Structure 1
Amino acid sequence: MQYLARTADGRALLGDDEGYVPLSAAAPNLETVADALPLAAARDLPDVADAPAERIDPDHVRFGPPLAEFGTLWGIGLNYEDHAGDLGEDRPEEPASFMKPSTAVTGPGGPIRLPPADRTDRVTAEAELAVVVGRECTDLEDGSEAVDDVIAGYLPVIDMTAEDILQRNPRFLTRAKSFDSFLVVGPAIAVPEEPLDLEELTVRTVVDDEVAAENEIRNMLFPPREIVSFHSRVKTLEPGDLFSTGTPGAEPIDPGDHVRAEVEGIGSVDAPVVR
């Protein structure tokens, strides 16, 4: 596995399981992580071991969001049948997608800032696997190899929902999902060297070190590759677009809590909750 990341002050990094080097040291023609996304989708990133630089231990890096700017932020609701049942919702026949604004994004470590209680007094946190697009594409066929050829990589995210707003009216979904800091992105985009068998992996929502919900990606109603191909027939997908593929379960959060999203084989991201 290779990784694309950025420091908190914006320096682009390329890494593997042994550490990181400056991206420009590995490939002088690549200045930003965004520049590297097409190579990641082609599984043609340079080898970290070939870079004329010493590896940096990730424990000594303060990470920011892996992209300075993401593209379209897609979310997928009710994508695990168990979670849909918990919410009393019927199984959707097509991906239940929505969009979030760029201002919802915050980097690893957050914090997650709850809105004033008079705007919402029940916010939930949801761990999810996110997919990052690496190449422009449109009209992809389900299950085609072309889908793997446009996926740059994966990262863990924490998604938030103002559930009391959503419960008042399902048409309020965009507002319930759009408060500042309502999408905590992981520290690095995991770039597999070969197309990844996601079905075996587990996603966990963890609050204060207690597992609140977990499920295997195999139990998604719409797998990640199908989500990408489906939405490529809605709009042209562009490098940096992100799909949060749904949560195994949501957990109410309050100031003082600490939330972590764990995606087996991909990574984790955590953030404290404040108001």
Structure 2
Amino acid sequence: MRYLARTADGAPLIGDEEGFVPLGAADPDLSTIEEALARAPDGLPDPAAAPAERVPEEELAFGLPLDRPGKLWGIGLNYADHAEDLDEVRPEEPASFLKPPSTATGPGGPIRLPDADVTDRITAEAELGVVVGRRCSSVAEDEFADVVAGFVPIIDMTAEDILERNPRFLTRAKSFDTFLVAGPYVAVPDSPEAFMEKVRVRTVVNDETVSENTLDGMLFEPPELLSYLSESTTFAPGDVISTGTPGAGVIEDGDEARAAVEPIGDLSADVVR
């Protein structure tokens, strides 16, 4: 497994379980994370072979792993258990929406809650994000590994009281600044298919697990989601599909929200108003 990341001040990194080195040290031809994402389906350079000493993860401060977030697709009601909890009818096709790049922020956040007179019920939802590596459209499910760079933990937020007033308010309910946290890095496995068999997603608020599930609990798994969405949208390096949550937890000022995504790791963010 390789990892692609950016420091808090934007320097691109590549790493493995032993630590991270500057991306350019591993390959002088790579200067941005987007360039590395395009290379990922064919394999990334070995950070252990770089003429630089690897820095352990715990000694680094990570920022948003993408240089310029592109299309941020969200998927609703994609775990059968979550749909049943909300008394929603199981969708026959993926329920999708777009979030603007201005929603994206990096590890630690903070997640900034809007004024209470705008919305006073906000939830956090842990999700697995699929990061596209290559420009593509009309992707067949068996071509998933050819165009996907890797996977990233995501915390997605929803202003539920706004959404409950009218389902047509979904875009507003999802699009406040800092309403999507991603990181701390993009995990690039040798085999996306084998990786997905190991994934477990947990939504955690203040160290309490609110919900958890594996990808087997999804109605539409990542290859099907990419194939469906790419029928109408051309994807580019750095575009993300956030594949849905096993369940949401209400967050308030002073809380900590966390997406625990095995086998990648944890992403957490402070909540402030």
- TM-score (structure 2 length as normaliser): 0.98
Question: What is aligned with 1:24?
Answer: 24
- Alpha-carbon distance, 1:41 to partner: 2.0
Q: Secondary structure at the match of 1:111?
A: strand
- Alpha-carbon distance, 1:90 to partner: 0.4
Q: Secondary structure at the match of 1:246?
A: coil
1:47-94 Cα distance to aligned partner (Å, 9 max, x none):
111100000011111100111211100000000011111111100000
Q: C-alpha distance in 2, partners of 1:112/1:51?
A: 36
- 1:257 corresponds, among 252, 255, 258, to 255
Q: Secondary structure at the match of 2:108?
A: coil
Question: What is aligned with 1:193?
Answer: 190
Please tell me the residue identity of whatever aligns with 1:227. Answer: L
Please tell me the residue identity of whatever aligns with 2:86. Answer: L
Question: What is aligned with 1:106?
Answer: 105
The residue correspondences of 1:180-219 to structure 2 (distance < 5 A) are 180-197=177-194, 198-219=196-217
Question: What is aligned with 1:12?
Answer: 12
1:159-201 Cα distance to aligned partner (Å, 9 max, x none):
0000000000000000000000000001100000123331342
Task: Specify every segment of 5 or more residues in structure 2 that has no aligned partner in the other structure, as ranges.
Answer: none
Provide the alpha-carbon RMSD of the alignment: 0.8
- Percent identity of paired positions between Structure 1 and Structure 2: 61
Bigger Cα displacement from structure 2, 171-180 vs 194-203: 194-203
Please tell me the residue identity of whatever aligns with 2:169. Answer: F
Q: C-alpha distance in 1, partners of 2:184/2:117?
A: 32
Please tell me the residue identity of whatever aligns with 2:144. Answer: V
Please tell me the residue identity of whatever aligns with 1:220. Answer: M
- Alpha-carbon distance, 1:39 to partner: 0.9
Question: What is aligned with 2:225?
Answer: 227
Question: What is aligned with 2:66?
Answer: 67
Aligned residues: 272
- TM-score (structure 1 length as normaliser): 0.97
Q: Secondary structure at the match of 1:15?
A: strand
The residue correspondences of 1:1-275 to structure 2 (distance < 5 A) are 1-42=1-42, 44-142=43-141, 144=142, 146-197=143-194, 198-275=196-273
Please tell me the residue identity of whatever aligns with 1:13. Answer: L
Q: C-alpha distance in 1, partners of 2:217/2:180?
A: 23
Judge conservation of contact 2:260–2:267 (CA < 8 Å) in 1: yes
1:123-149 Cα distance to aligned partner (Å, 9 max, x none):
00000000000001111123x1x2111
Q: C-alpha distance in 2, partners of 1:235/1:273?
A: 33
Please tell me the residue identity of whatever aligns with 1:74. Answer: W
Q: C-alpha distance in 2, partners of 1:133/1:90?
A: 30
